[in-house]
Amino acid sequence: MVSMTSFTSGNNQKAVIDSPSQALLGSAGVLPTTCKHDGLTSAHQLAKLTNALLYGVINSIRTIPTMYGYALIIFSHPAFTDYTPALSKLVVFSSAVHQVIFTLLSSLPFAIGQVQDAGLIFLSTMATSICNSLGEDVSTEAKVATTVVTIGIATASLGVCLVVMGRLKLAAFASYLPMPVIGGYLAFIGLFCLYAGLALCTGHVVNDFTSMLKVLDNAHNVLLCLPGVVGGALLLLVSQQFRSPFALSTAIVVMPLFFFLVLAIGSISLDEARDDGWVDPIAESASISELINLFDFSLVHWDQVPKQIVTWIGMVFIVAFSSSLDVVAIEIDMGSKLRINHELETVGWSNVVSGLLGGYTGSKIFSQTIFTCRYKTKARIVDVCVILSELAIVTVPVSVMSYVPRFFLAATLIFVALDLMLEWLVLAYHKMSLRECVVVWLSFLAINLISLDVGMLVGMGIAILNFLLGYVQESVVSNCPRSSATVRDLAKHRTLTRKRGVIVHFEFCGNLFFGSSVQILESVQKAVYVRKSQEQSPITEGKWTETPHDSNVLCAAASNEVDIAVECLDGSPAPDANAPPTEFVVMNFSRVSGMDSTAARSAFLILQKYCKNQGITVVFADACPNIRRLLLKNGIADEENFFVDAEAALEFCENQVLARTSSPTSAGRRLSHHNEALNQLLHHLMGESVDTPFVHNVDEFFHQCEVPLGHTFYLVGEPADHFYLLSSGRVAFGVTGGDKNAEFDATSSVVSGSLFGEVSFFSRQSRQVIAIAMEDCTVFKMTRAQFVLLSEFSPLFALRLYDFQRQVLAIKRASTASGSVDEDLHDRIRFACLLQEEIAKALTRVPADAANSLIKRKLCKDFEAISTQLETAVLRVSAREQEAQKALVEQQQDGRIVAEHQGQVFEFAELENEIAHNEALIEEREQDINKIHQSVAQVNEIFRDLAAIVQDQQGAIDDIETHVHESMQQTQQGLEQVKQASDAQSYCVLQ
């Protein structure tokens, strides 16, 4: 439809451009050309008018018979039998009123608005309820007057509600009614249309399954119904198999013609057909005055109006929902945006006017509106034709039902019945899930077996239950192992790595309600491990084993922990028999929108008690105020159990694990190093033994500083000419700018015993973060000048510091868990190159003795491994870049980029700027990839040269060692000879 609109616009522009040239030609004496053009225009206008009239007649043929069927559905109670002609004309008149309002107010010039099937059953329920409530004592005239007045009031008040919803832009509010319930209701409309069609064929009352069986028990009635059923099936087949709209209209017209053809061939008169029940008896047509006399307000029983409130509420939702769906369906078919709230307001005004004139609920008829739109008949002459046809039926003094076969009108109803029932009871399986199809069937059965309003409520309850069942099956809890981003020294990191299973992190999502309790309880208990009941563990006794700070003892303790037999918290066997017992449980509520008290008590309170019995600490992270208040009121948690986010909760648990793992002496030493020598601090930092020689006497190169809370160590953008060793306190890092007055937002932190600022120092880059003391701190500062002197004084210590920095950098990358290799690839390559240069300088100053050769060989092997890993990462990222580049090039070669948004296609010309930007990015990425390859090749070549140098030095060292051994042997031999000579000389002196 977008291209169609563009084509029309193009023609209009062409006409405007050509008109000056036509004027010039006319002035030059070419007058016949202008006359010919005017003649073509007149012929074109005449063709458009004829086409519009044709489509107006077709819409009238499809509409008027259906209105008679709808009248029989609304007034199906036996009390209305004598008033059927007048009531049928009243329905047709109401359709004309709806069409007038849509013609005047709708933004769609081709909109067809009629009495709609969505509200029929509610109107029929009201009419039947009023007649049954009044009983036999009340006259038929009073029943009819009460019914038509009540239905008019209900229709007008419904229109007011729709107008308010449209003004307040609440069209989407009607969507809260579940589609499966609507489907069950529409299927019930189909069944009711079937009843009405059979009643129209036979002339008997058919309003339920029992009466239908009673009518069909007669063979003559079956014969009367057979043409209507066959005709309805043929209309359904034609509508589904033939795309032309003329096919269905032709089939509708052919049915009565075929009937009269059979009568002519069989020489059967119309009176004989009436006697056999094929045509209604001749009856006087209802005049306009008779229609007005139906509204005798003196006969109205006003006490019946409030009794229809419940039915009216259901009708409001159904009509609003169906009207919104019709507008959306028209919008989708047209491919252009419609003002849904405006159209809903138009539907409301049509119902207001129709109700005030004693009419019935109506809306847009989707099928006929689309039929008129698709065939480019957008003139309002179609609407006028439908209005005039319906008004003619109302004013004509002849009863149409007395001259057309009964099965003709019945076939249109049976066609609607088969269409609705087939779509919602059979074909809905392809559009809905199996559970939703069950809801459709159960809603359909509930409406049939109980009543319309109660059945709808039952269907709503079933739909809610279906939603709860589906929501309960959705996973609301997941076990997400993770660690905090806090940077720690290697010894602490090794401890946390060894004991990472003792902290369990659960992430909850969605709305936690009573239906989620079982899932939460089972999932958490299966992921939390405890010691088996027959084993007495320090955790269950509330005691902790204290071990000296010795690596061998720690390894032994770790091996003992692996041998502990564990089971799940619920007593079932643990999936991982070697897993350590759980010590901490972190419950992350960052993605939880709400929680009810049932879930709090039946899930979290029980889990809290189970964990407390096993000595497991439970903490809660990022809980909203309502959830926090609920947990506190139910005694599930205390104030100290809440943390602002999962990062803080995990850091707390890790600190507790570190404190419990170490002995009180070592723990105190690790948490506060005020009274500890720098040499011992470096031993703990690097994980070296106390007697390591190259750490001795390096404390003179560090400068000890005491800084207060809030001290800024460095800002973003400052040169990295020093780094720090944190002896005590806590330092946090953020990404704020260089302004000291800017608000500080901490993203990570380090604790005592850690280095910080060393990454930028060794890579010779400016500072990327700001470092601020979060409490009083003691630090040891190393400047670049002092580091140069330190490298000359103790080159092995400098090499070991480089190696330590590599490990810390790896830990930092693992703790951030970014998962992206290429984010900092350039920094890693640059850091590797600078690190290699420093190592090469330091290696030249290493003494050439046998003890140092092993250290040099180990360092060389480590950096060769780093080079291999770096090359692998670069190749992988390079492959990704090339794939992305290839995909983008292929996308550009298509000629356009398609962006689907409500059926609109944006041409390539609208994205030229973006494509040019992408081309620039591609070129820049190609250059970066080439630089990366060159850098990696240089690093590999340097490392190979370095390895060769080390091997040559190792060979020279081996030769020196061999010569030393030979010299020692010769010296020993010389000593023996000197001793022999001395003995001989002494012997000679004695003689």
Find the Cα–Cα–Cα–Cα dihedral 689, 690, 693, 699, rounded to 10°.
120
Lowest mean pLDDT among 426-430, 547-551, 802-806, 887-891: 547-551
Q: What does the pLDDT look like over 387-406, one tens digit per residue?
A: 888 888 888 877 777 788 88
Cα–Cα distance for residue pair 69/61, rounded to 1 Å:
13
Answer positive or negative: Cα dihedral of 648, 649, 651, 656.
Answer: positive
Task: Dig out the tokens for 485 from the structure.
Answer: 């981003």
Cα atoms in the Cβ-side hemisphere of radius 13 Å centred on 784 = 11
850's CB contacts (< 8 A; 6+ apart) are: 957, 961
The DSSP element (H or E) to which 703 belongs, if any, is strand 703-707
Cα–Cα distance for residue pair 505/619, rounded to 1 Å:
10
Q: Is pLDDT at 552 greater than 90 in this prediction?
A: no
Q: Is pLDDT at 80 greater than 50 in this prediction?
A: yes
Q: Which of 171, 510, 94, 118 is nearest to 339 (CA)?
A: 171
Provide the pairing of β-strand 770-773 with 642-643: unpaired
> What pLDDT score was predicted for residue 956?
56
> What pLDDT score was predicted for residue 474?
82
Output the CA–CA distances (angstroms, integers) from residue 772 to 746, 747, 887, in the order listed. 9, 12, 45
pLDDT band at residue 543, thresholds of 50, 70 and 90?
A: very low
Cα–Cα distance for residue pair 731/486, rounded to 1 Å:
10
- Please list, residue by residue across 252-279, b when 16 or more beta carbons sit within 10 angstroms of its beta carbon and e when fewer do: beebbeebeeebeeeeeeeeebbeebbb
For residues 801-825, average pLDDT: 54
pLDDT band at residue 353, thresholds of 50, 70 and 90?
A: very high
For residues 810-818, average pLDDT: 50
More confident residue, 72 or 672: 72
271's CB contacts (< 8 A; 6+ apart) are: none
164's CB contacts (< 8 A; 6+ apart) are: 170, 348
Say how many C-beta atoms besides its own lie within 10 A of residue 296's C-beta.
15
Residues in the chain, how many?
Answer: 991
More confident residue, 183 or 679: 183
The pTM for the full model equals 0.54
The DSSP element (H or E) to which 759 belongs, if any, is helix 758-763
Cα–Cα distance for residue pair 512/472, rounded to 1 Å:
9
- The answer to whether residues 95 and 115 touch, using CB atoms and an 8 Å cutoff, is yes
Full DSSP string of 707-747: E-TT-EEE-TT-B--EEEEEEESEEEEE---S-TTSPP-EE
End-to-end CA distance of the chain: 137
Q: Which of 390-399, 439-448, 726-735 has the highest mean pLDDT?
A: 439-448
- The answer to whether residues 585 and 504 touch, using CB atoms and an 8 Å cutoff, is yes
Q: Which of 412-416, 436-440, 785-789, 892-896 has the highest mean pLDDT?
A: 436-440
Cα–Cα distance for residue pair 894/871, rounded to 1 Å:
35
Q: What does the pLDDT look like over 843-857, one tens digit per residue?
A: 555 555 555 566 666
Q: 477-668 — its CATH code?
A: 3.30.750.24
For residues 595-607, average pLDDT: 90
Alpha helix segments (H runs only) across 106-208:
120-134, 140-167, 179-202
Find the Cα–Cα–Cα–Cα dihedral 129, 132, 138, 140, rounded to 10°.
70
Cα atoms in the Cβ-side hemisphere of radius 13 Å centred on 564 = 24
> What pLDDT score was predicted for residue 352?
94
Lowest mean pLDDT among 7-11, 532-536, 642-646, 733-737: 7-11
pLDDT band at residue 335, thresholds of 50, 70 and 90?
A: low
Lowest mean pLDDT among 163-167, 457-461, 918-922: 918-922
Q: Distance between alpha carbon 31 and the CA centroid of its chain, in Å?
A: 67
**312: phi > 0 → left, psi -120 to 50 → alpha, else beta; which?**
alpha
**Roughly what angle, to the nearest 10 degrees, separates helices 434-449 and 452-473?**
160
Task: Dig out the tokens for 670 from the structure.
Answer: 């690790």
Cα–Cα distance for residue pair 120/417, rounded to 1 Å:
13
985's CB contacts (< 8 A; 6+ apart) are: none
Find the angle CA(695)-CA(700)-CA(705) to the nearest 5 degrees.
110
370's CB contacts (< 8 A; 6+ apart) are: 329, 330, 333
More confident residue, 586 or 385: 586
Task: Dig out the tokens for 581 from the structure.
Answer: 């017992």
Cα–Cα distance for residue pair 369/118, rounded to 1 Å:
17
The DSSP element (H or E) to which 343 belongs, if any, is helix 340-356
- Residue type at 545? T
More confident residue, 745 or 933: 745
Is 675-817 CATH 2.60.120.10? yes
Ranges of beta strands (E only) in 408-485 are: 477-479
Largest alpha-carbon pair distance within the chain?
Answer: 178
> What pLDDT score was predicted for residue 44?
65
Say how many C-beta atoms besides its own lie within 10 A of residue 858's C-beta.
12
- Residue type at 76? S
Instruction: Indicate the SS3 state at residue 542.
Output: coil
Cα–Cα distance for residue pair 221/198, rounded to 1 Å:
9
- The answer to whether residues 17 and 9 touch, using CB atoms and an 8 Å cutoff, is no
Q: Is pLDDT at 907 greater than 50 in this prediction?
A: no
> What pLDDT score was predicted for residue 811?
56
- The answer to whether residues 957 and 867 touch, using CB atoms and an 8 Å cutoff, is no
Cα–Cα distance for residue pair 865/743, rounded to 1 Å:
42
Cα–Cα distance for residue pair 709/777, rounded to 1 Å:
7
Q: Is pLDDT at 73 greater than 90 in this prediction?
A: no
> What pLDDT score was predicted for residue 456?
82
Lowest mean pLDDT among 198-207, 277-286, 919-928: 919-928
Lowest mean pLDDT among 256-265, 355-364, 845-854: 845-854
Instruction: Indicate the SS3 state at residue 706.
Output: strand
Q: Is pLDDT at 823 greater than 60 in this prediction?
A: no
> What pLDDT score was predicted for residue 457?
86
> What pLDDT score was predicted for residue 653?
92
- Residue type at 550? D
Q: Is pLDDT at 384 greater than 80 in this prediction?
A: yes
Q: What does the pLDDT look like over 463-520, one tens digit per residue?
A: 989 888 888 788 889 988 888 877 676 667 778 888 888 999 999 998 888 888 888 9
Cα–Cα distance for residue pair 386/379, rounded to 1 Å:
12
Lowest mean pLDDT among 17-21, 816-820, 945-949: 17-21
Residue with tokens 């190696």: 803
Cα–Cα distance for residue pair 938/943, rounded to 1 Å:
9
Cα–Cα distance for residue pair 511/496, rounded to 1 Å:
33
> What pLDDT score was predicted for residue 849?
59
- The answer to whether residues 729 and 773 touch, using CB atoms and an 8 Å cutoff, is yes
Cα atoms in the Cβ-side hemisphere of radius 13 Å centred on 739 = 3
Output the CA–CA distances (angstroms, integers) from residue 122 to 207, 317, 325, 712, 905, in the order listed. 14, 11, 19, 75, 43
Q: Is pLDDT at 559 greater than 50 in this prediction?
A: no
For residues 880-887, average pLDDT: 63
> What pLDDT score was predicted for residue 629?
92
Instruction: Indicate the SS3 state at residue 175.
Output: helix
